[in-house]
A and B are shown apart, each in its own frame.
Chain A
């Protein structure tokens, strides 16, 4: 607030008072930092565990993908506010999940399509 040459932000601060739930936002900042830290730790875990042999390659892939899915869920729920979103958005998500699952299954169908020579 000390620099009057800064593009007008001091004046606007008075025009637009801090909303009542400003303290609420402050609490979330800690959550965001916590999630960021958790994501970094989980990244380190993903890297570390990829060098541990869990019996089979499939098992390693499964563990890696479970960790990735968990990390992606953190990003989606907290950073993308999906934890508390409106019903319309959830409906979009549901439709997307249905279609993307169909897309994956379509590709896998190719394995049922034996080439006759």
Chain B
């Protein structure tokens, strides 16, 4: 029977080891695991690869760029939101993590983690930076035109709310997360464009 290594560790090995993806390392760990090693050995090897000192040093500048981009992203979204809603500037997280309901805290955290992670994927994994920028621009354009789409949606939403269907959990969840999900749109578009561009030229794995 074929023994499968811990799925979470394999995912972490693929996505969290900085620098170029090392296909040979992934294959070596799988081969050695299937021969005689334990799950704890596999985990130790994966964590060693992620926390490797040389990897951290090599990726130092990637971390700096990720932090800078994350800050610019949050500030940019905040300014954009204020521009859209014609409201005075508030603290950055105020617009994108709804307050008062703890259920949105993990969603907010995921949203904020997605920003530096996306930059990491583009820079460390050598996805197309140009395609990423184009995708980001396109997504931002959609975000700017949000008021128009919101006005289109307003009537059916008000209908749902008025007739009590909003009491249904899914509808409430969707309404509360509406702004948050739309805020992710440019990021998703950028990542999608960058990934597609890289797959087309066939150099996703070095």
Same complex for A and B? Answer no
Using CB atoms and an 8 Å cutoff, list the residues of chain B in contact with chain A: none
